[in-house]
Structure 1
Amino acid sequence: MDFRLPFEIDHLPFLFLAIVIAFTVHEFAHAATAYRFGDPTAQKLGRVTLNPMPHVSLLGLLFILFLGFGWARPVPVNRSNFKNPRLMSIVVSAVGPLSNLVVAIVAAAAAYGLFATGALDAASPGLYRAVGLIFFYLVHINMLLFIFNLIPLPPLDGYRIVEDLAPLRLRLQMMKYEAWGVYIFLLIVFITPVFNVTLGPILGQVVVWRHALLAFMSALFGANIDWVYVFGG
């Protein structure tokens, strides 16, 4: 099961914008929460900002656009500055993926709320499709990052959460082999047969969750979006 995005070349600007927004919100959430809890490390590096420039890695952006797997610039966190290092580290790790879930929900609500007003009924085909595409990719990419980052493998946020929840003895063992875990993660991502029976089924849930969210918003706002038309069908 492949989660990589097959997209038309004219979708690239909308996909690019959605990825930049998703990465920026994710890293900002980490940085702002760490700063709120007393760690100024990221703030001193200019990471407590919604300006995408400090957060987005050009190489990571290109990878996710064309290979379906990429990264932003990690937010440095010094957990020794926290009053309760384990608990606050869990929160700092969790807010990144959760911020992406919030953006996906807001984007889905905004899309159906806008279409429910009838504001685009008389819009040109180009405008109708452009609005539909940006909201679709905002929902899809943020849902993807939400699920992907909760996978408990290093260097993802899910691993950090599990590590902080683990008893001290187990946590020390995890830290000992953490560097090898990163290599194993990369092998899983890039070796298709292994990916298809490990991460693939998990990331396949992105489509399920996306569909459920859009269906819920459609029912909530009593509006329909012609996604076939949006995608040029």
Structure 2
Amino acid sequence: MLHYIQALLGQLNFSSALDAALRAASILLCLTVHETCHGLAALSLGDPTAKELHRLSFNPLRHIDWLGLAMMFTVGFGWAKPVPVDPRYFKNPKRGMALTALAGPLSNFALALALLFISRWIYLYTDYTPLWDGIFNFLHTTAILSIGLGLFNLLPIPPLDGSKVLGALLPDKAYFTLMHYERYGMLLLFLLSFANVGGGLIGRGIYAVYTTMVNLIY
């Protein structure tokens, strides 16, 4: 039995397991911040729905959609459980929905900036060790992922946040038409994701925002 266990352990790639765990941690952090800030924005505009359903939490388990997490982990396109929003609480429903939606991507850009500031502190004030180097790389990797999540959600395709922002600029009739087709947006996103349509454009956008942030901070 001992020989069997030793042989099994010898086949395990602990480096890959650690990489997978760190990637999962990055994804959960970015999604949790994104969804929690949706709820905080809605609350600030008068909608207590997310608070009443205990979604104003940085506990990732309250936000995980397991299929969406698996998709994001494997193909780079995924989702969390949407934070419930009731636009009837907003004085201006279209504007309230737009501001609530915009809070998610903006929180991802803010998270990326915070992570890069921490990485700069590590760069300036710590000596090189494998541990600090690993933390530094994790911070930059998570910042890139957070930027990507923010940019992706700004696409004006229902049900992404960008569609809510676009809706605030449209006449009421066009807005309700856009929201009517929200159910088909996810199918479109699946098709675009698997066909890798726009991947290069989004990738260039991520690189541009990331390098701009790095140049500002460093």
The alignment's TM-score, normalised by the length of structure 2, stands at: 0.86
Task: For 1:179 and 1:56, locate their aligned partners in 2 and report how far apart those are by CA, in whole Å.
Answer: 20
Q: 1:185 to 1:172 in 2, by over 3 A?
A: same
CA RMSD of aligned residues (A): 1.7
Task: Give the aligned partner of residue 63 of structure 1.
Answer: 71
Cα 1:199–1:165 change in 2 (3 A) is: farther
Q: Which residue of 2 aligns with 1:104?
A: 112
Q: Determine the C-alpha separation between the residues in 1 that align with 2:127 and 2:193.
A: 40
Match of 1:16 among 21, 24, 39: 24
Percent of aligned pairs with the same amino acid: 30
Contact 2:155 2:163 in 1 (8 A): yes
State whether residues 103 and 138 of structure 1, in contact with CA within 8 Å, keep that contact through their aligned partners in structure 2.
no
User: Where do 5+ consecutive residues of structure 2 fail to align?
Assistant: 1-14
1:199 is displaced (CA, Å) by 4.6
Structure 2 residue 87 is matched with structure 1 residue 79: yes
What are the Cα deviations for residues 104-152 of structure 1, in whole angstroms up to 9, with x where unaligned? 00100110122111x233x2x2x13321222112211111111111011
* Mapped partners of 1:79, 1:214: distance in 2: 37
Q: Give the 4+ runs in structure 1 shifted more than 3 A.
A: none
Change beyond 3 A, Cα 1:156–1:111: same
Residue 213 of structure 1 corresponds to 213
The alpha carbon displacement at 1:155 in A equals 1.1
> 1:190 is matched with which residue?
194
Contact 2:38–2:100 (8 Å) recurs in 1: yes
CA separation of 1:120 and 1:131: change in aligned 2, threshold 3 A: farther
**Match for residue 32 of structure 1 among 20, 25, 40:** 40
Hey, what's the Cα distance between the residues in 2 that align with 1:179 and 1:57?
17
What is the CA–CA distance in structure 2 between the aligned matches of 1:120 and 1:75, rounded to whole Å? 42
Offset, 1:88: 1.6
| Structure 2 counterpart of 1:120 | 127
In structure 1, runs of 5+ residues without a counterpart are 1-7, 219-233
Paired residue total: 203
> 1:70, 1:179 → 2: CA distance?
16
- Name the TM-score, length of structure 1 as normaliser: 0.81
- Cα deviation code 1:147-205 (max 9, x no counterpart): 1110111110001111122111211322333333332222111123xx1xx35313432
Q: For each residue in 1:12-64, what CA deviation from the matched residue of structure 2 results, as whole angstroms up to 9, or x when unmatched?
A: 22221111111111000011111222212111111011111111222222211
**Structure ranking higher on relative contact order (CA contacts 8 Å, 6+ apart):** 1
